[in-house]
Amino acid sequence: MKRHVWMVLALGLGLAAPGCILTSGQVQINFDLPNFSGNSLTGIDHTTIDLNSEKEYQDNKEKLKDLSDLAVLGKFTNNLTTPVNVEVWMTTTPSNHLDETSLMQDPTKVKLWGPFQVAGSTTKTIDWNASAQLFTTAGKAALLTEAKGDGNFTLYAVGPAGQAYNFSVSNGALVLVIDVGI
């Protein structure tokens, strides 16, 4: 019994000693995305993200270590009767592409996640677990680089090149869980 008391006391002193305080944590940043659409005939929508507009990011940017988790969430509705494979891309600088062709020619583009299939004339909700499986290694790395850099980038959702598609996205969000430390 005495040995347990000494171990508890030693652990308590170690935690109370200077320099032995918790020096890391996680911050979750949520960005609500506007409703948007992708249509091979009429064009694609985009949204530019500025992490600097979020107080949690501003308060922790200098302490940012890593992205421990991230998600793109939302309800994807296929407005055609044929299935569509949806992908989310980002440009590492703010951009304003109106069609898939110009997006694919952008040298700063990175495939963030996907594809995932939405059956014809249906809606598919992408939740945290589904989103986690869709991220590419390059997409995660690009988001981390942007978070450590200027924090300003643009997101796009598109269908397969050369195929007709028409989908809409509602209740979308980009969620970043950032590891911070002192």
pLDDT tens per residue across span 22-71: 457 898 999 999 999 999 999 999 999 999 999 988 988 888 888 889 99
Which has the higher per-residue pLDDT, 92 or 12?
92
Domains in the chain, please, with CATH?
23-181 (2.60.120)
pLDDT tens digit string along 144-177? 999 999 999 999 999 988 899 999 999 999 999 9
- At position 86, the amino acid (one-letter code) is V
pLDDT tens digit string along 7-33? 343 344 344 444 444 457 898 999 999
Nearest Cα residue to 76 out of 174, 176, 178, 166: 166
Contact at 8 Å (CB) between 108 and 169? no
Q: How far apart are CA 99 and CA 104, in angstroms?
A: 9
What letter would DSSP give residue 34? P
- At position 4, the amino acid (one-letter code) is H
Which has the higher per-residue pLDDT, 179 or 3?
179
Contact at 8 Å (CB) between 44 and 97? yes
What is the pLDDT, as a whole number, of residue 99? 92
Tokens 């600088």 belong to: 93
What is the pLDDT, as a whole number, of residue 2? 45
Mean pLDDT calculated for residue range 78-97: 97
Binned at pLDDT 50, 70 and 90, residue 181 comes out as: confident
For residue 4, what is the enclosing H or E element?
helix 2-16
Please give, one letter per residue, the 3-state secondary structure of 109-126. Answer: EEEEEEEEEECCCCEEEE
**Whether this model's pTM surpasses 0.85:** no
Q: Residue 120 pLDDT more than 70?
A: yes
What is the pLDDT, as a whole number, of residue 67? 86
**Three-state SS at 27:** strand
Nearest Cα residue to 151 out of 93, 69, 71, 68: 93
Contact at 8 Å (CB) between 151 and 52? yes
What is the pLDDT, as a whole number, of residue 23? 57
| Sign of the CA dihedral with 142 first, then 144, 150, and 153 last | positive
